[in-house]
Amino acid sequence: MPNCDMCGEEIEYAVVASIEGVELNVCNKCAKFGKVIRKTKPQVKEEKTKKDLVRSVPQREKIIQILVEDYSIKIKNAREKTGLKQEDFAKKINEKASLIHNIESGKFEPSIKLARKIEKFLNIKLIEQHEEQHAETKGGSSEGFTIGDFIKVKK
């Protein structure tokens, strides 16, 4: 239910009134302080229970792109095959040499955008497609304990 913009009282329906040049949603009592513009219809709320929300979640598949685990070794080996030094390679892909050094030593994980740029230049595969599936959750108790099982509420 909405609340009156002036007194804060919970109301079934609001009256839109112009009070000191401002349009407010107010209750019938507060409407007398301004000029009534219109009355709104009572709002009917459809209550959704927690079970309805859980059951309405459809099964979704999400495809994400992830960097391969041995990216640093692959980049270093491919760069060395081309005969380029880190500085020359960095210039060719318009990046800093220190960044290339950190990537090859495994200290820095490149973004997907940078990994794509390196993939294209060195003609190697650094990014994998990974598919996540989120199964539909049904209401009811789950096996095992939940955090709520361990909480004690003081009364």
* Crossing angle for the helix pair 71-82 and 97-104, to the nearest 10 degrees: 120
**CA separation for the pair 37, 5 (Å, rounded):** 15
Q: What's the pLDDT tens digit per position in 33-60?
A: 888 888 877 655 555 555 555 555 555 6
Quote the tokens at residue 25. Answer: 């949603």
Residue 63 identity (one-letter amino acid): I
Q: What's the pLDDT tens digit per position in 85-116?
A: 999 999 999 999 999 999 999 999 999 999 99
**CA separation for the pair 148, 155 (Å, rounded):** 16
Terminal CA-CA length for the chain: 29
Indicate the number of domains in the chain: 2
Whether residue 155 lies inside any domain: the answer is no
Q: Residue 87: what pLDDT?
A: 95
Q: Residue 137: what pLDDT?
A: 55
Whether residue 147 lies inside any domain: the answer is no
| pTM summary value | 0.48
Whether residue 119 lies inside any domain: the answer is yes
Tell me the CATH number at 81.
Answer: 1.10.260.40
DSSP 135: P
Whether residue 138 lies inside any domain: the answer is no
